[in-house]
Structure 1
């Protein structure tokens, strides 16, 4: 695995190169049984992951902190290009998937109208580059710890991908 890189743009961008084919990285990113293994930063668990992974579908995730606090996110899928691209809208929610305004949680508002975009690029030689563009500014993501959290998430994704590659 290579190191994560940073693109200092207005929006938060995290990237990771995986030593695995794009189909395996896609599977780790989109299959609920694998998502539950990586959703949330280091030390966090994901006790709930309900995914309706299709354009127009919605997913619901629970992220549990080491001290037991549960935070919920919902995701609405707007574009899916198999093994290449996912465009979605992720937001804070309650356990039923109802939107919660970030301010209610003491978090800065996401960039208005910005979608999350996740790209999967086949680099050849069995490597895949994943780029995740968040719906918050890089400055906000760094200040809130979300940037660090996403890099920790990609570390956990790398472990899942490595396990999938070994099992293949």
Structure 2
């Protein structure tokens, strides 16, 4: 009885060892393959032209906001003198918020394009993770995929939100309520 138990245990151990060996070989990587690569985000954004596209879009947004400020300035002539400063400050605050929102939205478009390209590259090349070089103290040159991602993104045409069209609402004179 003891002998049969030992044989069954030995057989089970052999089956587990053979199956484990086969499973390890199924997804084995070549010597030197890395499951982690790095990308220099700033370099890719500049060299691929994504940053230039963002800057061009933000230049158009800024021009539109400046045009809106000029329109607002013209409308102050119709206001009573005691309300001009209040209106000017309110308009500046609105335009500043619009500017910040447009900057963030444009950056989100750029980073989404970079993330999509990075995800695609990672999947195609069966890489586990791609990290920014900025988080590493030292990176071997062969682990840097910045050049490949730059090439992939050079033809990307980003779709930014429409440039805001700033208008000034007509200010109606306060009328006494009808009794």
Relative to the length of structure 1, the TM-score reads 0.27
More helix by share: 2
Relative to the length of structure 2, the TM-score reads 0.26
For CA contacts below 8 A with separation 6 or more, give which structure has more relative contact order. Answer: 2
Which protein shows a greater Rg? Answer: 2
